[in-house]
């Protein structure tokens, strides 16, 4: 679709006045797929509403693809992305809405102002790479990274248009034999075999950064088959790129996808370059946790005004709008946000209802019947000890009929209206559940010195959903938000699963949402995560727990729990010493250096210890070596964890092993184990 360059064009005869909750005020662009309308939410927020042409909507295959793409877009959130607000894939003319991203496309900026330079170029490379990494973390492939799909907004670049995105797991609905993508931005393997995976996105990203820096397409212009030949056989023209950035882009444009950086690797490499750029210009050390904020700080691309937008109406006291999925690029001081989160009046955080909705009296009947009052069944397991140690049922409603929770087949995210209608605990059983969730979240976050992020727990019985809400603060880092989201998910999922198993015909809550408020007055929070307790609360493959990038990211955050630090120091030294004395020496391999190579940390969400190795010399290279090292870690770490577990309180009884091999990419996990006596 074409983009209006930040200007609203007049609506045409026949254009709708209202789409969903949005008032249509003009057009932003048109294309073969449909029309992008300019809209206003009931609170005056500017939105872009993409409506699919009626002809496409009549095609069942196309509609199935669009419905799948809406579901995929809801999974993606992160910096420099335009999140999904709302959608109706089943409407006569399907539509989806995103926040309006003001500013020109990269193409439009290059035509008007020339290539990006200095800090703005590094911010562009870092921001778009971080967006791509977030897309891939959600299990999605963008498949159309090109200049028309990047907006140069006021605070940094924004990647948009998931119109042909698909899942990495192969569950998308696609047309057989159709080449998707745009010539010049298509990877060699896509030309050869028609495959479009994460590595193909990285190739397009490399071409995008080169284009932003030089104003030239790295493989030139011309007929599609000529461009394709150059992509397959010629070296890219990277003349004019800064030397450090050229090294990264050259790796992204490797012909062999196995030789390319990952999206996460590109993000990490460019973030380091951005921080280095800022260090040189500001003459000060830049904290790694503030790299995301540096995108906004270094960004110097002017955004044209939008005088054609009508003035927003006065903000109503109550509004129904689509839910925001995702987090904005963070800029500013983390310290101020941390202080703002601490309660200042000494009251229980759960007593502060974050929504403007009446509180139902305890014990009164709701949509699923009476509960919580006199004579209602007791459904809450006793709150004893550390809730992280209590068993969590994988399928709490197995074999039960006539359950009170009836939305187990509903995979749609809770809406802002449902969040607004939620209330503080309406009955004694809800109050017990809320207490368990708050305690669980506090225990998880406390190990990383983040227990200042005290959650508010509210309930919407009609939606059968529990809301875990953090904030208000607008300048919290994405890393902290992600950890709050994981803590809220685990606490809500575990508590709800136990309740569903204990009283499946009486307890109606099975869904949960984790949200973040940017300010006290907001009625439109960021939805960080959502799910349901009937799907299981831990990462599992074939019934076995599996470690992952979220867990190792948490484990790499410094622990402030003294017992964790003590155990980690002792265990990692034991892993080092016993490996050097046995497996490594016996196999004739060089020993690992404790000071640099082996580290151990804890993920309090999934009760796991992570051991990771900076294997820059590829000491643990072969499959046999990796299997030997995994077994060595299991045999060394598990007894230590179980001994500490039996002494209690201590939740960690899992271990996962990851290898970092010096390419700046994510770790390769070589095994995960649940320790048993």
Which residues does the annotation mark as catalytic? 144
Q: How far is it, in rounded angstroms, from Cα 211 to Cα 124? A: 11
First to last CA, the chain: 59
Q: Is residue 284 classed exposed, middle or buried when 0-12, 13-18 and 19+ CB atoms within 10 A define those classes?
A: exposed
Q: How far is it, in rounded angstroms, from Cα 174 to Cα 581? A: 54
Q: Which residue is listed with tokens 């999206």? A: 263
Q: How far is it, in rounded angstroms, from Cα 599 to Cα 656? A: 12
The answer to whether the beta carbons of residues 83 and 99 sit under 8 Å apart is yes
Q: Which regions of 369-495 does DSSP assign to beta strands (E)?
A: 456-460, 465-470
Q: Residue 156 — left, alpha, or beta (φ > 0 → left; ψ -120 to 50 → alpha)?
A: left
Q: How far is it, in rounded angstroms, from Cα 125 to Cα 271? A: 8
CA 17 to chain centre: 34
CA 170 to chain centre: 20
Kindly tell me the number of DSSP H helices and DSSP E strands found in the chain.
18, 21
Any residues with CB less than 8 A from the CB of 390 and at least 6 apart, and which?
381, 384, 494, 498
Q: What does DSSP say about strands 654-660 and 608-614: parallel, antiparallel, or unpaired?
A: parallel
What is each CA distance from 404 to 124, 310, 367, 460, in whole angstroms? 50, 47, 10, 14
Q: How far is it, in rounded angstroms, from Cα 497 to Cα 501? A: 6
The count of residues in the chain is: 677
Q: Which residues of 86-98 are buried (b: 16+ CB within 10 A; e: fewer)?
A: bbebeeeebbbbb
Any residues with CB less than 8 A from the CB of 381 and at least 6 apart, and which?
390, 498, 499, 502
Any residues with CB less than 8 A from the CB of 431 and at least 6 apart, and which?
425
* 38, β-bridge pairs: 26, 48
Q: Which residue is listed with tokens 């016996």? A: 586
DSSP states of 565-593 as a string? HHHHHHHHHHHHHHHHHTHHHHTTPPPP-
Structure tokens at 556: 């790499």
Q: How far is it, in rounded angstroms, from Cα 198 to Cα 202? A: 6
| Of 265, 211, 264, 257, nearest in space to 238 by CA | 211
């Amino acid at each position: 679709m074409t983009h209006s360059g930040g200007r609203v064009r007049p609506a045409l005869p026949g254009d709708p006045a209202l789409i969903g909750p949005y008032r249509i005020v003009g057009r932003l662009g048109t294309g073969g797929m449909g029309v992008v309308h300019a809209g206003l939410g009931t609170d005056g927020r500017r939105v872009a509403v993409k409506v699919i042409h009626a002809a496409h909507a009549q095609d069942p295959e196309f509609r199935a693809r669009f419905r799948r793409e809406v579901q995929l877009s809801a999974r993606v959130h992160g910096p420099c992305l335009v999140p999904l607000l709302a959608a109706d894939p089943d409407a006569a003319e399907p539509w989806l809405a995103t926040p309006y991203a003001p500013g020109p496309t990269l193409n439009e900026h290059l035509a008007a102002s020339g290539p990006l330079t200095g800090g703005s170029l590094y911010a562009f490379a870092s921001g778009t790479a971080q967006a791509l990494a977030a897309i891939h973390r959600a299990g999605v492939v963008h498949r159309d990274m090109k200049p028309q799909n990047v907006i140069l907004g006021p605070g940094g670049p924004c990647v948009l248009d998931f119109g042909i995105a698909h899942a990495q797991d192969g569950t998308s609905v696609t047309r057989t034999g159709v080449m998707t993508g745009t010539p010049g931005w298509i990877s060699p393997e896509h030309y050869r075999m028609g495959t479009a995976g994460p590595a193909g996105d990285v190739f397009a990203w490399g071409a995008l950064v080169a284009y932003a820096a030089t104003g030239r397409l790295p493989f030139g212009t011309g007929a599609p088959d000529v461009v394709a030949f150059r992509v397959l056989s010629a070296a890219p023209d990277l003349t004019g790129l800064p030397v450090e950035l050229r090294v990264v882009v050259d790796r992204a444009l490797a012909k062999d996808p196995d030789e390319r950086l990952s999206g996460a690797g590109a993000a990490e490499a460019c973030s380091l370059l951005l921080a280095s750029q800022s260090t040189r210009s500001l003459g000060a050390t830049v904290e790694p946790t503030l790299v995301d904020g540096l995108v906004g700080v270094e960004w110097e691309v002017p955004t044209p005004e939008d005088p054609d937008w009508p003035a927003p109406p006065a903000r109503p006291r109550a509004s129904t709008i689509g839910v925001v999925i995702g987090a904005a690029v963070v800029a500013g001081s983390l310290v101020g946000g941390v202080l703002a989160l601490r309660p200042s009046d000494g009251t229980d955080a759960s007593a502060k209802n974050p929504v403007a909705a009446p509180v139902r009296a305890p014990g009164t009947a709701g949509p699923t019947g009476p509960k919580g009052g006199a004579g209602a069944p007791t459904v809450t397991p006793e709150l004893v000890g550390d809730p992280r140690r209590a068993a969590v049922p994988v399928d709490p409603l197995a074999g039960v009929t006539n359950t009170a929770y009836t939305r187990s087949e509903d995979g749609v995210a809770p809406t802002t209206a449902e969040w607004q209608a939620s209330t503080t605990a309406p009955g004694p059983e809800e109050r017990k559940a809320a207490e368990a969730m708050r305690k669980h979240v506090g225990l998880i976050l406390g190990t990383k010195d983040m227990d200042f992020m005290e959650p508010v727990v509210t309930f919407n019985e009609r939606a059968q959903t529990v809301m875990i809400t953090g904030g208000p603060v607008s300048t919290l880092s994405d890393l902290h938000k992600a950890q709050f989201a994981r803590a809220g998910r685990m606490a809500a999922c575990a508590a709800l699963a136990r309740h569903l198993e204990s009283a499946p015909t009486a307890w109606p809550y099975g869904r949960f949402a984790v949200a973040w408020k940017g300010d006290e007055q907001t009625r439109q929070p960021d939805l960080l995560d959502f799910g349901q307790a009937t799907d299981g609360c831990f990462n599992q493959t074939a019934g076995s727990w599996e470690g992952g990038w979220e867990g190792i990211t948490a484990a790499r955050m410094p622990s402030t729990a003294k017992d964790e630090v003590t155990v980690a120091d002792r265990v990692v030294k034991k892993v080092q010493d016993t490996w050097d004395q046995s497996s490594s020496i016996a196999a004739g391999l060089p020993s690992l250096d404790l000071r640099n190579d082996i580290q151990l940390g804890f993920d309090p969400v999934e009760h796991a210890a992570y051991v990771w190795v900076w294997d820059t010399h590829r000491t643990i290279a072969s499959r046999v070596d990796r299997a030997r090292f995994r077994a060595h870690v299991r045999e060394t770490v598990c007894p230590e964890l179980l001994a500490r577990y039996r002494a209690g309180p201590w939740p960690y009884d899992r271990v996962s092993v990851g290898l970092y091999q010096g390419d700046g990419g994510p770790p390769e996990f070589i095994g995960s184990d649940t320790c048993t006596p």
